[in-house]
Amino acid sequence: MDVLERVLYVEDDADIREIAVVALEDIGGLTVRQCKSGEQALEEVEAFIPQVILLDVMMPGLDGPQVLKAMREMGAVTEYTAVAFMTAKVQPKEIERYKRMGVQKVFSKPFDPVALADEVKQLWNDFNT
């Protein structure tokens, strides 16, 4: 099983993005490509080749589900790519809808910055077993 190294993180809120990047890079030791929009993520995903993609659900322009669909259509999300949504909308009905879209996990916001890297690594391990 490959060790998790590369995470693409898509979040339009600069403060949340900064906290998550510190959590994933400084605490988790991961390489993170951060994108402030779905459009930017679509431009950068193929060159970065992420193992895990973390997508904010609600963003201006392209939202998380639209970005995921577009990434699948361009071949950037494969059977080797784990995808998770990050959202404040974590009602069971919403989570079920996201899972039907093919995401492996839904992380609730606000998230615990200290635990985030371990949770993402666990997602990767579960995805690969």
- The structure's pTM equals 0.96
Report the chain's mean pLDDT, rounded to a whole number.
95
> What pLDDT shows up at residue 1?
58
Sheet with 105-108, side-by-side order of all strands: 31-35, 6-10, 52-56, 82-87, 105-108
Q: 111-114: long-range contacts at Cβ-Cβ below 8 A with a sequence spacing of 24 or more?
A: 111/20, 111/23, 111/86, 113/19, 113/20, 113/22, 113/23, 113/27, 114/23, 114/27
- pLDDT tens digits, 13-70: 999 999 999 999 999 999 999 999 999 999 999 999 999 999 999 999 999 999 999 9
> What pLDDT shows up at residue 107?
95
